[in-house]
Structure 1
Amino acid sequence: MATQLSVTQSFSASPEAVLDLLRDRDFVTACVQSVNGPQAVVLVHRVEDAELTVISESPVPAAILPGPLRNMLPSNAHGTKSETWTKTGDGYRAVIEIAVTGAPASVIAEATLTVTETGATLSIAGKAEVKIPFIGPKIEKMMVDQASERLTAEGEFINTRLGTGTISA
């Protein structure tokens, strides 16, 4: 069974302006640390002709984990977020993967950044899957809640640079 993830963000700037921010490693590092804390790091920031890849890592505080999962993970567990953006028409598309070290759990989503009359809309849709009997759905919900919260915070951080927009999860 999987738990669905859906986040929509709107920006008062073009998709190109949003991606220009993501092409700036310093901006991405500031965003990752603002959302995930000062120990979060950008492991990979690769800008190529038609593709942008960002891989970041942040500690997973044991306090946010359900008890059974807390006992399964190493004390130094980290969450890794990987996103690869490509140009599609007037906008962009990305595959986003989120995983936790040592956990049989992941979030996989597709993001589309499209042109609107007032700027751009980012739609993220995906699912969390946890392959642990009985407690899997509870962990999936926690992962979706955490991912939604952090993706929303990233959108708010981007909007501080671009101007105002709206975000819904």
Structure 2
Amino acid sequence: MSRQIDYRSSSQHRADDVAAVMLDEGYLRARLTQLGGPGAKVLEHEATDDGGRYTIRHGVDQAALPSVVSSLVSGNLVIQRTESLHRRSPGEWAGEVDVQIPGTPASAVGTLRLHDTATGSELVVRADVTVKVPFLGGKIEAVIADQVQQLLAAETAFTLEWLAGSHR
């Protein structure tokens, strides 16, 4: 069984502008510096005018992990995340996300949708978190899903500040 994440955020900026930032390597590096944790870095990055793909690594200090999660890892938690985003039409973007946590039975896969609205744009992230651990899997999935929601909210705030020119 898996736990579904359904995250939505709105911006006053057009989808094409938000996508350009999301695919900018300098932005990704700055975001990871602020939010990525120990060992965070951009592992791969490729972008064109019509889309791109990148792989990033996050780190979570072991001391910050809930006990149910820290029982799965020794040391800091490493999260490897690959995202793609491609223009379907002006103001309409779609993509995929794949999250792996090396050395654990936890992963997540999902979709991204970024589209124009009457007042700007909306980003929708839908993903399924799966932890293949008998008896505890559901509890761990709930913890991870909650942490992912919090990370997405922090990344959204960073992105909106970046779009406003606060981090450049």
Q: Cα–Cα, structure 1 residues 50 and 162, in superposed 2: closer, same or farther, change >3 Å?
A: closer
Q: What is the Cα deviation at residue 115 of structure 1? A: 0.7
> 1:99 matched to which residue of 2?
100
Distance in structure 2 (CA, Å) of the matches to 1:161 and 1:29 = 12
> 2:116 matched to which residue of 1?
115
Q: Cα–Cα, structure 1 residues 140 and 119, in superposed 2: closer, same or farther, change >3 Å?
A: same
> 1:166 matched to which residue of 2?
none
Q: What is the Cα deviation at residue 12 of structure 1? A: 0.8
Alpha-carbon contact 1:11-1:162 (below 8 Å) kept: no
Kindly provide the amino acid, as one letter, of the partner of residue 138 in structure 2: P
The root-mean-square deviation of aligned C-alpha atoms, in Å, is 1.8
Query: SS at the partner of 2:108?
Result: strand
> 1:16 matched to which residue of 2?
16
Matched residues, number: 163
Kindly provide the amino acid, as one letter, of the partner of residue 114 in structure 2: L
Alpha-carbon contact 1:15-1:114 (below 8 Å) kept: yes
> 2:78 matched to which residue of 1?
78
Kindly provide the amino acid, as one letter, of the partner of residue 40 in structure 1: A
List runs of 5+ in structure 2 lacking aligned partners: none
Kindly provide the amino acid, as one letter, of the partner of residue 35 in structure 1: L
Alpha-carbon contact 1:7-1:148 (below 8 Å) kept: yes
Residues 99-127 of structure 1: CA deviation (Å, up to 9, x unaligned): 21111111212110011011110011121
**More displaced stretch, 71-80 vs 49-58:** 71-80
Distance in structure 2 (CA, Å) of the matches to 1:129 and 1:23 = 27
Q: Cα–Cα, structure 1 residues 54 and 150, in superposed 2: closer, same or farther, change >3 Å?
A: same
Alpha-carbon contact 1:15-1:115 (below 8 Å) kept: yes
Question: Which runs of structure 2 are paired with 1:1-169 in the superposition (5 Å)?
Answer: 1-37=1-37, 39-48=39-48, 50-67=50-67, 69-89=69-89, 90-163=91-164
Residues 39-83 of structure 1: CA deviation (Å, up to 9, x unaligned): 311111111353311211022322343435424324244111110
Alpha-carbon contact 2:23-2:53 (below 8 Å) kept: no
Distance in structure 2 (CA, Å) of the matches to 1:78 and 1:131 = 17
Distance in structure 2 (CA, Å) of the matches to 1:152 and 1:68 = 23
Query: SS at the partner of 1:92?
Result: strand
Q: Which has the higher contact order (CA 8 A, sep 6+)?
A: 1
Query: SS at the partner of 1:58?
Result: strand
> 1:167 matched to which residue of 2?
none
Report the TM-score when normalising by structure 1.
0.87
List runs of 5+ in structure 1 lacking aligned partners: 164-169
Kindly provide the amino acid, as one letter, of the partner of residue 32 in structure 2: V
Report the TM-score when normalising by structure 2.
0.88
